[in-house]
Chain A
Amino acid sequence: MTDTPEVFELLTFRLADQDYAVDIMSVREIRGWTTTTPLPHAPSHMKGVINLRGTVLPVMDLADRLGLPPRGQNDRNVIVVVTHADTMTGLLVDAVSDIITLAESDMQAPPEMATGPGTAVVRNLSLIEDRMIRILDLPAVIARPEVSAA
């Protein structure tokens, strides 16, 4: 193949039988499930906080955040620790699948669709072996959504 001007390395993972990906540069580590300490009155997608070697790490139920049915607590779930703007967040996903390399041309913008909790956070779509990979816009996922019930 010709050398592409810019390639992206992505970490893919599965969530409710769907494939998602995040930029691998933002991934700090992947760790197994540990019991979270729930935060009172937090939005439902905030699972709580865990102890990550002495720092308090908030963990987000990604499925719930994306509008999928929330995942139950499950031993096989993993937490993908991502950093954005100097803060770390744990994303609870079903399973990590692969690391893929994509060129700019392999990605396409998601078609315009009705807005919902899951649409604004998907930045690009890509197709690999007939599976659609949803590339997440991490800042949008982590950003505290403007809480309406303030």
Chain B
Amino acid sequence: MNTPADPMAEIRASFFVECEELLEALQDGLQTISDGPEDAESIHVVFRAVHSIKGGAGAFGLEALVHFAHRFENILDDVRNGRMGVDAAALKVFFQATDHLADLVAACRDETPPPQARTEELLIDLDALLGADSPEKTPAPAQISFEPTPVSLPFDLSDDLPPLPPLDAPAVQEPSATSRGFDILFTPNADLFETGSEPALLFECLAELGNLTVDCDTSKLPVLQQLSPETPMISWSLSLETTAELAEVASIFEFVEGLCTLAIMQRTAPDPEADVTPSPEQPLVAQTDLAVEDISAIAPAQKAVSTPAPKSVVRVDLDRIERLVNLVGELVINQAMLSQSLETSGLSPHSDAMNGLEEFQRLTRDIQDSVMMIRAQPVKSLFQRMARIVREASFAVGKDVRLVTEGDSTEVDKTVIERLADPLTHMIRNAVDHGLEDVATREKMGKDPQGQVRLTAAHRSGRVIIEVSDDGAGIDRAHVLKTAQAKGLIAADAMLSDPEIDNLLFLPGFSTVTEVSDLSGRGVGMDVVRTEIQSLGGRVTIHSDPGVGTRFSISLPLTLAVLDGMIVEVAGQTLVLPLNLVIETLTLAKKDVQSVRPGHPVIEVRGTFVPVIDLGLQLGYRAAATDFEGTAALLIRDEDGTRAALIIDDILDQRQVVIKGLNDGFYRAPGVAAATILGDGQIALILEPSDIMNQAFKTAGTPPPSALAPPPAEGLHP
């Protein structure tokens, strides 16, 4: 079963992919239950998810996972059958159990030792739930201790096999008169075993319902030489004494529906002596028909709840999509080359060729958008991971925190989602640890003792905005300022505006908490968060209101593959600037440019002064220009509102460009984000204006810290 042969490894891999989806469904279901009134559908979904994980895990012999999933499933089963109610405490344990299940899946996947101690801990919690929740019930169903000792079926291949002994699960003999008798004929198909189902487990579930007698029919077994181990030859006849309804009995076989020949017959009168052992030759046709009827009577109801919207989904290797994306990138470049050469060939703009080209352009763009959409994924999985972080973090610091998520169906490039996990985790932990006050303080302030962390995602003007906000105390600016001064990050007499103080949090080596808590003080500061987000082409800004809360806003490009750019020329070089940052183009006259002090030119734009950055000088292409008469400039503004005028020589074009990454071997200079290939086959660098601004203000020697770099002119004219 656990021979790690190659085909097996593939199946294993797909099992773990499935597990992730199931865990997501599980999380979702629990969230639905916790948000609204208990509904049967969500409970079913939750139960099914755990059950499927268990089934798969069993097929791969992942004992630890099976062990835990089984116990978890048992409890969920009680919930499903209405034997147990779900309250907040139970939900909390369920969430923890789900987290742990995810850990176990991860441990099994990476073949690391499973966290055994935590398993035991949670099992005790789960058992406690059962104990606490069903005191009025007969103790038996609750106390069934399911030691998941694999039930070994004694195959001795002789014709007169002794009947399988009744399973040692304690029988529940309800004294009530509603006890019914069922005769069940169960013949598994080969498919049943392929899906990882296990008859013994089904029988265990049956035994839970009442008094079960199991007889195994081995008469169809051939002699050993003719035995095909893949073909199941055994059927069972079971007789069950229970108070349960037919539907309940049938529901046990819910997961093997269609994978076996099943007949469930209800005896008219309870017959405690029922030990009907149907002869193997007994014609089964009639019974099977009956069973089909029975099951189909139940099935529609269940189908209706389990699959609300069947969507057909194809799983594709990421490499293939990657290739497609690259090819489309090539296509876009080629199209640009073609249009450039057609334009230079002097064709009339109304010629067929040019019209065709236009159509081609539109199609390319459509293809590109569609391909990008393949890579896009809802941020839901990311948000779910954050839900777990909130649970763990709030538990660690003893705060009561609720996570509210919004817009989790917002789609973002897969790479972005993956790389966003770490920075977001850090920000969430920060919000719980530093952002929110403790319960006592909150009560004193007249706030809801339960803190709230909001995580939202939305599309806004071609970018994705992800916000992490809390309703805590806001940033303690006096404290931040003092810390920054104490650490020598800013001059002792520096006068900073509120947003500037907030931005101090992003300085490397900054931490407001004096004692490093094991939660957020892991050496990963907000500077790392900012760097990571910037490397994704994003920006992060802070907004804080004392007493009301803090909001971190991350703005990310929709995709990492294309960019709407403004193509400019500087000192003979072609450069690309992200179009969304350009707010205005200007032509400078000599009188427009003033100098704050030598080397610090500013221009006046409608009453405010904006620092001027000579792009050619900044990138080392040429010496500083002395005369700005008639030069073109781009007024840019980055996410935190910092503005600057970039001096350029010419604006060439405005078009979509394909981003080609520059790896570390390229001596990437600050301010250069990536490269692209232009229509003429030449490479142009894509600039990162906020980096350039930072760089420029730093080299200009202004005292404020480099990382936030408030432009000197804005300091003068707030």
Q: Which residues of A contact B (CB under 8 A)?
A: 35, 37-43, 46, 49-51, 54-56, 58, 87, 89, 142, 144
Question: Which single member of A37, A46, A142 contacts B684 (CB below 8 Å)?
Answer: A37
CB distance from B658 to the nearest CB of A (A): 9
Q: In the assembly, what is the distance between CA of A58 and CA of B670, in Å? A: 17
CB distance from B663 to the nearest CB of A (A): 7
5 sample A-B contacts, Cβ–Cβ < 8 Å, listed by A number: A37-B685, A49-B683, A56-B666, A56-B675, A56-B683
A56 and B660: CB pair below 8 A? yes
How many residues on B have C-beta within 8 angstroms of the other chain's C-beta atoms?
30
Q: In the assembly, what is the distance between CA of A134 and CA of B663, in Å? A: 30
Residue among A37, A40, A58 with the highest chain B CB neighbour number at 10 A = A40
Q: In the assembly, what is the distance between CA of A46 and CA of B662, in Å? A: 14
Q: Specify the chain A residue showing the minimal Cβ separation from B326.
A: A54
Q: Which residues of A contact B682 (CB under 8 A)?
A: 35, 37, 51
The 6 closest A-B pairs by CB, nearest first: A40-B619, A41-B669, A42-B667, A40-B669, A37-B683, A56-B660
Q: In the assembly, what is the distance between CA of A50 and CA of B660, in Å? A: 12
Q: Which residues of A contact B683 (CB under 8 A)?
A: 37, 49-51, 56
A40 and B662: CB pair below 8 A? no
Q: Which residues of B contact A (CB under 8 A)?
A: 326, 329-330, 333, 573-574, 618-621, 660-672, 675, 677, 681-685
A54 and B330: CB pair below 8 A? yes
CB distance from B698 to the nearest CB of A (A): 13
Q: Specify the chain B residue showing the minimal Cβ separation from A144.
A: B665
B660 and A38: CB pair below 8 A? no
B675 and A40: CB pair below 8 A? no
Q: Specify the chain B residue showing the minimal Cβ separation from A46.
A: B667
Instruction: Beyond the given A35-B682, A49-B675, A51-B683, please list 13 additional residue pairs across the A-B interface where CB-CB is below 8 A.
Output: A39-B666, A39-B667, A40-B619, A43-B667, A51-B677, A51-B681, A54-B329, A55-B660, A58-B665, A58-B666, A58-B667, A89-B665, A144-B664
Q: Which residues of B contact A43 (CB under 8 A)?
A: 667
Q: Which residues of A contact B326 (CB under 8 A)?
A: 54
Q: Which residues of B contact A55 (CB under 8 A)?
A: 660
Question: Which single member of A35, A54, A56, A144 contacts B667 (CB below 8 Å)?
Answer: A144
Q: In the assembly, what is the distance between CA of A21 and CA of B514, in Å? A: 58
B620 and A40: CB pair below 8 A? yes
Q: In the assembly, what is the distance between CA of A55 and CA of B326, in Å? A: 10
Q: In the assembly, what is the distance between CA of A144 and CA of B329, in Å? A: 29
Q: Which residues of B contact A50 (CB under 8 A)?
A: 683
Q: In the assembly, what is the distance between CA of A54 and CA of B672, in Å? A: 19
Question: Which single member of A38, A41, A142, A144 contacts B573 (CB below 8 Å)?
Answer: A38
Q: Known: A49-B683, A51-B683, A54-B333. Contact between A37 and B675, CB under 8 A?
A: yes
A54 and B620: CB pair below 8 A? no
Question: Which single member of B618, B661, B669 contacts A42 (CB below 8 Å)?
Answer: B669
